[in-house]
Amino acid sequence: MPYIIIIIGFVFLLYAISRLMKQSHSAKINKIFRYGFAVILGLLAYFFLIMAKNIPIGAILGILSFFSAQGGLWKILMNNSDGAGNNKKETSVNHKNAMTREEALEILGLSGHPSKSEIKEAHHKMMLKLHPDQGGSDYFASKLNQARDMLI
């Protein structure tokens, strides 16, 4: 019975850590969580294998420890922790394709240090031409929005 309570506690801890890692956009923090939890799972595996003589639970914890250190455990948990998993690709694409200030200025047809009203006016003017409802594409409209958000 105490083993079941310990396992339930660690499943809850695993879920809580996966939620924290999902909210964190820092690779360094995610790495610390990943390796820290791998060490904890490894120590638990050692305890169950040596002290409690419970080989199946120790083996499962050892495998989870290995997958935690490799990152596979967290990929599985973070992909399924929001239910649908619809926003994962969109978020990763936005981080990979982060635009620079110069690119944002070029997209909106601006230069120098435009004011907030100039940025909004240029965005509005370009959006009238490139909006998907006016025959433009979703891609260009999203780039315009990204450029505006970056500059404002």
- Residue 113, domain CATH: 1.10.287.110
- For residue 101, pLDDT over 60 is answered with yes
**Domain identity same for 65 and 129:** no
- Residue bearing tokens 């100039």: 118
Range of the domain at 127: 99-151
pLDDT, tens only, 11-61: 777 777 767 766 766 777 777 777 887 888 788 888 888 877 778 878 887
Residue 74: the pLDDT is 62
- 74 and 116 belong to one structural domain: no
Q: Say yes or no to pLDDT of 83 above 60.
A: no
Q: What is the pLDDT of residue 89?
A: 42
Mark whether 111 and 66 lie in a shared domain.
no
Q: Whole-prediction pTM value? A: 0.40
- The total domain count for the chain is 2
User: What's the chain's average pLDDT?
Assistant: 76
**pLDDT tens, 88-98?**
444 444 445 67
107 shares its domain with 134: yes
